[in-house]
């Protein structure tokens, strides 16, 4: 699909496949925490759509919170620096926390967040990521719940952006840019 300028989108994961996989991940979480409450923490802004779909498929008592970090500038490359832009609203001490991310890429963001959240003494801390690009990893981080493992391509849609655009696409698409 040709879009603005010379940018080009190619569907990588269709909406129906995402919906099916999100349901499976939610059922796994439901099974793992049977009889308990889970506290989902979405990493803004990329995870908001994944979290919204995921939480509605979990058949347990749930609560949600959000944290915002910045590790990327406006473009495609990580600056390597992680900063908390918006902290959690409430304490996670003693809670079963599932940290919800859009994509696990270099691992810098999640390893930082895991360290910060672990210090706040949750009962359990698990990581759910819709997408995983293991070939890009700089720090060893493993997701407990992974939607899809994908190749080293820059993707947008279903919450993921390029300079804040394309979050609203229903499919996950590969974005190609013209050579600079």
Q: Cα–Cα distance between 99 and 175 in angstroms, integer? A: 26
The listed partner (ligand IMP, Mg ion, none) that binds 105, CB under 5 to 8 Å by sort, is ligand IMP
d(CA 16, CA 138): 31
Contacts with ligand IMP, 103-142, as mask; x by CB under 6 A: xxxxxxxx--------------------------------
CB nearer to Mg ion: give 18 or 155.
155
Q: How far is residue 24's CA from residue 166's CA, in Å, rounded to a whole number?
A: 25
**CA distance to 11, 29, 139, 158, per residue, from 22 (Å):** 18, 11, 26, 12
The partner in contact with residue 40, picked from ligand IMP, Mg ion, none with C-beta cut-offs of 5 to 8 angstroms by kind, is none
Q: Is 72 in the site for ligand IMP (CB under 6 A)?
A: yes
Counting contacts by CB under 6 A, is residue 101 touching ligand IMP?
A: yes
Radius of gyration of the chain (CA): 16
Of 65, 87, 89, 105, the catalytic one is 105
DSSP letter for 136, please: G
Residues taking part in catalysis: 105
Which residues of this chain interact with ligand IMP, rule CB under 6 A?
46, 71-72, 78, 101-110, 154-156, 160
């Amino acid at each position: 699909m040709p879009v603005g300028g010379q940018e080009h989108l190619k569907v990588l994961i269709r909406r129906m496949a995402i919906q099916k996989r999100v349901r499976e991940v939610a059922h796994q979480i439901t099974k793992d925490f049977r009889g308990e409450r889970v506290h989902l923490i979405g990493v803004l802004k990329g995870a908001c759509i994944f979290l919204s779909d995921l939480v509605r498929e979990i058949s347990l008592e749930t609560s949600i919170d959000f944290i915002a970090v910045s590790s990327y500038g406006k473009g495609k490359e990580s600056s390597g620096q992680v900063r908390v832009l918006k902290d959690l609203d409430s304490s996670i001490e003693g809670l079963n926390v599932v940290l919800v991310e859009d994509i696990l890429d270099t691992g810098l963001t999640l390893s930082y967040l895991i360290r910060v959240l672990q210090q706040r003494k949750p009962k359990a801390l698990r990581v759910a990521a819709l997408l995983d690009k293991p070939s890009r990893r700089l720090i060893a981080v493993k997701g407990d719940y992974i939607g899809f493992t994908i190749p080293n391509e820059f993707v947008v849609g279903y919450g993921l952006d390029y300079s804040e655009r394309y979050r609203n696409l229903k499919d996950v698409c590969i974005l190609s840019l013209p050579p600079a």
